[in-house]
Amino acid sequence: MPGRWYTAAQVEQGYEIFQQHCAVCHGTQAEGAVEQWWIPDEQGNYPPPPLNGTAHDWHHPLDELLDWIDRGGAHLGGQMPPFGHLLSDEEQRAAVAWFQSLWPEEIYRRWVTIHQR
C-alpha cells in the first residue's frame, strides 16, 4: 500500500481477523454499532464506535490502538473485551491495517501528520 505503514497482505489478513473477532460489535464494515456512537446508554457505557475513520480512531497513534485491542477498554472504564490472549501482535496489527484501509486518504494523512515523526 503506497505511503501506508502496512502491506496489502496485512490488510487481507486483517479483514479475516476483523470479521471473526470484531465485526460482531464494530460492524462488518467497521461502521460501528449505532449511528450515534457518541451517546452512552443508561449505564453510561459507550457503544462500539466506527473504526472506519469517521469516529475517534484517528486521534490515537498506532501503539494506543494496539494497546486498546490488546488490553480492551476496561482499564479506561470501557466495555471492550481484551484480545491479548486471542490474537498475536501481528494479528492485532493486521486488524488495524484493515480498518485503516477504509479511512479516506485525507484522514489517514491527518493521522500520519499528528502521530508520526
The grid coordinates of residue 75 equal 482499564
81 vs 110, beta carbon nearer ligand HEC: 81
Quote the least distance from Cβ 3 to ligand HEC, whole Å.
21
Whole-number Å distance between alpha carbons of 14 and 5: 14
Q: Does 22 sit near ligand HEC (CB under 6 A)?
A: yes
- Residues in contact with ligand HEC by CB under 6 A are 21-22, 24-26, 45-46, 48-49, 51, 55-57, 60, 65, 68-69, 73, 78-81, 83, 95
